[in-house]
A and B are shown apart, each in its own frame.
Chain A
Amino acid sequence: MIHTIYIEEEIRDHPRTLRICQRFPNARTIYCERYTSVFNNNSQNFRLQKKNPALILAKKHQKYVLPTPAGYGVGSERNFYFSHMLNCLYDCRYCFLQGMYRSANYLIFVNYEDFFEEITNTASASTEDSWFFSGYDCDSLAMDPVTDFMPTALEYFSNHPKSYLEIRTKSTQIRSLLNHEAMPNCVVAFSFSPNNTYKKLEHGVPDINKRIRAMKKLQNNGWRLGLRLDPVIYSPTLQADYESLLENIFQSIDAKLLHSVSYGMFRLPKPFYKKMIRLYPEEKLFSLPLTEHDAQVSFEQTTELSSLETVHTALLKYVEEKIIFPCR
Chain B
Amino acid sequence: MINLIAATRAEADPVIAALKLKRISTNFDLYQHDHIQLIISGMGKCNVATACGWLANRTFNEEAAGATSVAWLNFGIAGHATHELGSAYIAHKITDLATGELWYPHQFSNNLPSSELTTVDTPLLDYLPDQLHDMEASSFIKATRIFSDAELVQCIKVVSDNRTNPLSAVNAKFANSLITNSVEMIIQQAEQLETLSNTIPQPETRLFNLLHSRWHFSASQTTQLRRLLQRYAALLDSAENIPEPLQQKTSSKDVLNWLKGQVDRADISL
Contacts and interface: CB of A to CB of B under 8 A. Distances in A.
Contacts of A200: 270
Interface stretch (A49-57, A75-83, A180-188): A49-57
A227 interface: no
A298 to B, nearest CB: 13
Contacts of B199: 47-48, 51
A43 B104 CA distance: 12
A234 B268 contact: yes
A284 B149 contact: no
Contact of A284 (B109, B150, B234): B234
A286 B234 CA distance: 9
Interface string B88-103: 0000110000000010
Which secondary structure dominates where chain A touches chain B? Answer: loop
B170 to A, nearest CB: 28
Given A285-B270, A289-B264, A54 B234 contact: no
Which secondary structure dominates where chain B touches chain A? Answer: loop
B201 interface: yes
A4 B200 contact: no
Interface string A260-277: 000000000000000001
A45 B151 contact: yes
Interface residues of A, number: 40
Interface stretch (A26-34, A144-152, A158-166, A205-213): A26-34
A177 to B, nearest CB: 32
B95 to A, nearest CB: 11
A124 interface: no
Contact of A43 (B102, B108, B150, B268): B150
B270 A48 contact: no
A52 B150 contact: no
Interface string B242-270: 00000000000000000000011001111
Contacts of B264: 289
Interface centre among B106, B150, B233, B267 (most CB of A within 10 A): B106
Nearest to B236: A287
A52 B109 CA distance: 8
Given A47-B200, A282-B201, A289-B263, A52 B270 contact: no
Contacts of A38: 104
Contacts of B267: 236
Contacts, number: 96
Contacts of A45: 149-152, 200
Nearest to B203: A281
B187 interface: no
Contacts of A4: 92, 107, 110
A310 B108 CA distance: 45
A291 B219 CA distance: 22
A3 interface: yes
Given A30-B93, A44-B151, A201-B270, A287 B109 contact: no
Nearest to A102: B150
Contact of A28 (B107, B196, B201, B233): B107
A41 interface: yes
A41 B234 contact: no
B106 A196 contact: no
Interface of A: 3-4, 6, 26-28, 30, 32, 37-38, 41, 43-45, 47-49, 51-52, 54, 196-197, 200-201, 233-237, 277, 280-289
25 contacts: A30-B93, A30-B107, A37-B102, A37-B104, A43-B145, A43-B148, A43-B150, A44-B150, A45-B151, A48-B149, A48-B196, A48-B200, A52-B108, A52-B109, A197-B270, A233-B270, A235-B268, A235-B270, A236-B269, A281-B234, A282-B234, A283-B234, A284-B235, A285-B270, A289-B264
